[in-house]
A = this chain, B = another copy of it.
């Protein structure tokens, strides 16, 4: 049999006073005499009194919980962002409940529902790669439930978000390739409807243009964001009559898969093909060759997302600040020819 937690009533009864007096004393309300306050506090400590958050929540109509939906939990990128969110949430006395969509629209909808059922005060979401309709989010907006997007956003919705400048980053990668003598630069992209795919592609194209390179449609392949499809996409590139001398993957998962595939084809990195990834997973530095990658300020992204969330709670429905963070191209072995 579980013991009940100590309540205000328990304390009040034991001291023969009213509940309200106990409540006030514990909050240092000066209206309660000093000696009584002292006595009450003493007993509270002794009985290990902890305010019941359910009762408080009921009263104040708030659960102090934020729902977070990520495509998956096991990717360093997301867990790192979550760490950042957690930090800011904690500072504000909030808790985070995590749900993963597993990159499935269906599971994403389900997660939204589940989190709503548990009365989270709002949601911070990175949409799944399948997500191409947004009714489940529109419903949130209609009901004035705070919503923040990060990384992958539904651009048609007026919602605060934190993203990175993917176009700029992709442009820089392209230029980096060019400056290192590459002329047949390929890009493995993700689903077209994702903002991240779109922007990085734009940057890629812009980069080509600035470098005076022609866009060769064969060098742009699109695939879902998993290792299998990435391997397939890479194979497609390696089977071209004119194979690329540089490949840029929309994220590191893609880049690692490409790396494996390139090695399998007995091609050398970076000698035959230069390779660059995106998001800078932790293991970029342990693969061989070490992977040049566009680093994301993940911790900061998480913190910003949480900050936006709290601002959204405060300012209400019309708040839709878009935070765009800069990335950083960290050059390692995979993209620069050894001298």
Contacts and interface: CB of A to CB of B under 8 A. Distances in A.
Given A55-B58, A58-B58, A256 B286 contact: yes
Contacts of A144: 2-3
Interface stretch (A28-36, A75-83, A125-133, A210-218): A75-83
A96 B97 contact: yes
Interface in A9-60: 48, 50, 52-55, 57-58
A118 B95 contact: yes
B286 A259 contact: yes
A58 B58 CA distance: 9
Contact of A286 (B63, B99, B260, B316): B260
A73 B63 contact: no
A145 to B, nearest CB: 8
A289 to B, nearest CB: 8
B100 A143 contact: no
A61 interface: yes
A91 to B, nearest CB: 12
A259 B97 CA distance: 37
A86 B100 contact: yes
Q: How many of these chains are in the complex? A: 2
Contact of A83 (B61, B74, B283, B286): B74
Interface on chain A toward B: helix, strand, loop, or mixed SS?
mixed
Interface string A141-180: 0011000000000000000000000000000000000000
A4 interface: yes
B83 A79 contact: no
A187 to B, nearest CB: 21
A320 B265 CA distance: 53
Contact of A54 (B58, B83, B283, B316): B58
A229 B116 CA distance: 44
Interface residues of A, number: 49
A146 to B, nearest CB: 9
Nearest to A78: B79
A117 B95 CA distance: 11
Contacts of A57: 54
A78 to B, nearest CB: 8
Contacts of A4: 61
A53 B143 CA distance: 18
Contact of A119 (B2, B52, B100, B256): B52
A50 B120 CA distance: 12
Contacts of A286: 256, 259-260, 283, 286-287
Q: Which 4 A-B pairs have the closest CB atoms?
A: A288-B288, A283-B283, A54-B57, A54-B58
Given A2-B61, A54-B119, A83-B100, 8 more contacts: A2-B144, A53-B119, A74-B79, A74-B282, A90-B114, A95-B118, A282-B283, A288-B288
